[in-house]
Structure formats: C-alpha cells, structure tokens
Amino acid sequence: MLTIATGNKAVADAVKDAVPAVVAAYPITPQTEIVEQIANYVASGQLASKYIPVESEHSAMAACIGASATGVRAFTATSSHGLVYMCEMLHWAVGARLPIVMANANRALGPGWNIWAEHTDSLSMRDTGWLQVYVGSVQEAYDATLMAFRIAEHADVLLPVMVNLDGFALTHITQSLETVDPGDFIPPMKLPHAIDTGRPAGYGTLTAPGDYYRFRWDIERSMRNAASVIEATQDEFGKRFGRTYGMTEEYRCADAEVVVVAMGTLGKEVEIAVDILRGQGVKAGSMRLRWFRPFPDLDLAGKEVVVIDRDYSFGFGGIVAHAIASKYDVPIFSVIAGLGGQEVTYDDIAGFVRDRRPGDEYWFGVDA
C-alpha cells in the first residue's frame, strides 16, 4: 500500500507487519511516536502483541530480554540517553544470543541538552555485539526494520539488530512509503536455547576463564556469518518486493577519483553534492554506509576518500574515518559535521571535497 508517512511511522508499520509477541516501550524524544503508534495498533486490534509500558529504558530492554529468552519475537525503540541507559542490558542481550530488534532515533548526548541528530549515541555502542544498520529514507526505515527481524532470528546469527534513523531529519520528515504484505518473508522465530519450563536449566551463570572466551568467539563468528545472511536477506527482499539494498549504497563511484563516505541522511545529501561536483569537472562519487556492524568490505582502492562523521570519539577522532583508516590504505580527509543537528547542505559537502586535505581532520564551522 502506498501512503505518506514519517520515519517513525514507517518503523511502527514495519513492526506491525512483523508481529512481535512483545513490545516494551518507554518514551524519549524523538523516538516517542514509534511506540505511540505501535500502542495505537495494539489498542485498535491491528497488532496482536503484548504492549508493556515500563518505567525506564533499562527496563524496556530487560523486558525484551525476558520475552525473547522464552522464544518469542520482541521489539523496542529508544534514542540518545535512553540508549546509553540500556548499555548494560545491550551487552546482556548479545551474550544471551537473543534476536531482539530495536529502533534507535539518533540524537545527540548532553549536556548541553540537544534533541537533534547525531550518531555518537549508537556508535558508542558499536562494540556491544549488536548489528547496526543506518537508514537514509522513510522507505528504507520500513524495509530495514522488516529485514532486521529475519536477519536477527536467522539460525546462523541470533544476534540483536539496531535500526538507526536520524532524529527529526528522518524520524519526523514526511516521504512516500510503500508497505508490503510480508507473508512468509519472516519465518516463525525458533530460538534453540529458549527457556522451557519442562526442562529446567540455569541461565546467566558464572563462566570460568576456560570457557568465557569461547562464548566471545561464538558472538564474533555469528557477526561474521551475519554479513552473508544480510546480503541473502536483502537479495530475497529485492526479488519479492522490488527494492534492492546492499551493505553500502554507491552513487557514481565506478570512475570516481574521490569518494565521499557518510551515513544516514547526510549520506543521501552527498548524492546531490556529487552531481554538483561532476558538473564542475570533479570526478566524485558517494558511498553511503548502511551497515556499520558487521563492517562492510569497501572498494576504495586508488581513490581519495572524504569521510563525514556525524559523531566523534574525543581524543581519537571521527569514528567512521578511523574505522576506514584501520582497514584500508587510502588517503582520508576526515570531516566532523552535523553534530547536534548542525545544518550541513550539499553545497557545504561539495566544498569539503573541493578543499580536501588528505590526512587532515576538519571541524565544520570551527576556526582552528
């Protein structure tokens, strides 16, 4: 069905179509509309889920963990301080191998208090073991959320998935949305280690040094498996519903001499900048990272790279730029831009490319 929706509404619609058994909810700007819309679907009978309003984000994830451990599908949504409040339970969900799906409305962390887009909240959780996908449109928010359930619950993965969408820049923007009838695209969830009251067992017990590392390796092995599961899921989604996705979204990269890498809505803005630069004789291309965990293989050989980070690791640098630098021997110009919702236009991005200084770090708007 073709309609008009916000990014928040798109996520809620995907959750309705995926039919989780449990939704645990706590409001936080700019995510609140997701759980409000899901609550409306539950109240109206359009979604047969147990809706659990809790007293905190920590409890929201704890409720999802409890539900998922019994072998049922679970979902929640959060943002910013709500996400970092969940931190302990994010690690717990991974260690327990629970395929929970969560939407995170990317928002800056305070103080100073700020409710606009930034990726530092989710990227500060990059080492928890959650799979992370960053979307750039309302349609992609819906599609990625649907696929997240299938990916998380795959027998070769069984890891939680975080769907990230930029606060206000995407959560509240209105675009066209085509929903689908997923049919059997998302199979019934089968958790091999689900709690069974007929076969009592201990969970979360002390693990000695002789075994602990084996559990860590099992998480990493599943993260590596996730790459092929993601690709197969996206291929199947394209065959069934006509919309195709990759680990990255590339635009005019084939003959590009300089490639701009970004995530989320800024990644879509880059495409317009690329057209402007092409018109000025600059062979530029755009590579929007969709998946950050697992980190994708990038074709950057022989190219200069401009990385726009809507995040920062203090005392270290742009997180995406350093992730690329650690894996690829390419000249990188690191741009820190868009923090806290700072406006970054396609003309600004074109300027980053024209004025690039490989090996340097540049803070947009700061004279230093």
Which residues touch 283 (CB under 8 Å, ≥6 apart)? 255, 256, 257, 258
Give one DSSP letter per residue of 248-275, joined into a string: EEEES-TT-SEEEEEEHHHHHHHHHHHH
Instruction: State the CATH number of the domain containing residue 147.
Output: 3.40.50.970
Report the pLDDT value the prediction gives residue 203, as an integer from 0 to 100: 76
| Shared domain check, 352 and 336 | yes
- Select from 241, 256, 277 the last residue of a domain: 241
Other C-beta atoms within 10 Å of 91: how many? 15
User: How far is CA 97 from each of CA 15, 159, 303, 305, rounded to the nearest angstrom?
Assistant: 21, 5, 39, 36
71 & 210 share domain = yes
pLDDT of residue 189: 97
171 and 254 co-located in one domain: no
The answer to whether residues 224 and 284 belong to one domain is no
Picking from 212, 241, 270, the residue at the C-terminal end of a domain is: 241
Segments of the chain scoring below 50 in pLDDT: none
- Number of compact structural domains in the chain: 2
CATH code: domain of residue 284: 3.40.50.920
Residue span of the structural domain in which 188 resides:
2-241
- Residue 144 CA to residue 358 CA, distance in Å, equals 33
- Indicate whether 299 and 196 sit together in one domain: no
Do both 143 and 171 map to the same domain? yes
Amino acid 78: pLDDT: 98
Model pLDDT for residues 258-315, shown as the tens digit of each residue = 999 999 999 999 999 999 999 999 999 999 999 999 999 999 999 999 999 999 999 9
Q: Is 119 left (phi over 0), alpha (psi -120 to 50) or beta?
A: alpha
Give 89's contacts (C-beta < 8 A, 6+ positions apart).
58, 61, 62, 65
